[in-house]
Amino acid sequence: MKKITVGTTVTIFESLSELSPLHQKLMEEAKKAVHKSYSPYSGFRVGASAILDNDEILSGANQENASYPLCLCAEMVVLSTISSDFPSKIIRTMAITVKSAKNVIDMPISPCGACRQTMLEFENRQDSPIEILLMGETGAIYHLESAKSLLPLSFDGSVL
Ligand code: THU
């Protein structure tokens, strides 16, 4: 018997001003994107932005449904646009943030498991890491070097 440890490395920036100008801009676009959210049920407006290798920035927000399982996460919305309209472009970095109707979220929000697996699919497809920036409405920003680092021991399509 043996044990292994799987983990990840997160770089923490205390404020937006500590990020590179490009990453600041990307997070600002994610913050703007929360206004695209349709979230009457949760009041949890998630914004996601992505910068491509042609420097284009796209963004999306969560879209809810009275039948709750049909809700679309912000990450899925922006990734679907990229897959449909920019299938040959590389995603360099994604930024994800939130604005809740209930309270100010002052710590980074973390993508759900389904979004992590979807981001990993894009990363594997483009054969290049997608950097991830996570932020609440205020507070620190987490930086991860890849989608894979968000999903240790991930399911890997190479076994199929
Ligand atoms: N949500 C996202 O948009 N992304 C995530 O990674 C987690 C959750 C949305 C789905 C739903 O509209 C709301 O947040 C509350 O779960």
Instruction: State the catalytic residue, choosing from 64, 75, 123, 131.
Output: 75
Hey, whose CA ends up nearest to atom 14 of ligand 1?
A: 44
CATH class for the region spanning 11-153: alpha beta
**pLDDT value at residue 156:** 83
Whether residue 37 has its Cβ less than 6 Å from ligand 1: no
> In this predicted model, what pLDDT tens digit does every residue of 106-150 receive, in sequence order?
999 999 999 999 999 999 999 999 999 999 999 999 999 999 999
Predicted pLDDT at 27 = 98
pLDDT score recorded for residue 49? 98
CA of 152 relative to ligand 1 center, distance in Å: 21
User: Up-side HSE of residue 26: CA atoms within 13 Å toward CB?
Assistant: 26
- What confidence score (pLDDT) does residue 42 get? 98
pTM beyond cutoff 0.95? yes
Q: Which of 45, 49, 62, 110 to mutate to test the pocket of ligand 1 (most atoms within 8 A of CB)?
A: 62
State residue 133 phi and psi, 5-degree precision: -120, 130
What strand order describes the sheet that includes 91-100? 11-13, 141-144, 131-135, 91-100, 44-52, 57-61
- What token pair was written down for 62? 């969560």
118 lines ligand 1 (CB under 6 A): no
Query: What is the per-residue pLDDT for 157?
Result: 84
Residues of the chain with pLDDT under 50: none
Q: Is 150 in the pocket of ligand 1 (CB under 6 A)?
A: no
Answer whether 119's CB lies under 8 Å from 131's CB.
Answer: no
**What's the confidence (pLDDT) of residue 34?**
98
SS3 (DSSP) at 66:
coil
Q: What does the radius of gyration of the chain's CA atoms come to, in whole angstroms? A: 16
Q: What is the pLDDT of residue 40?
A: 98
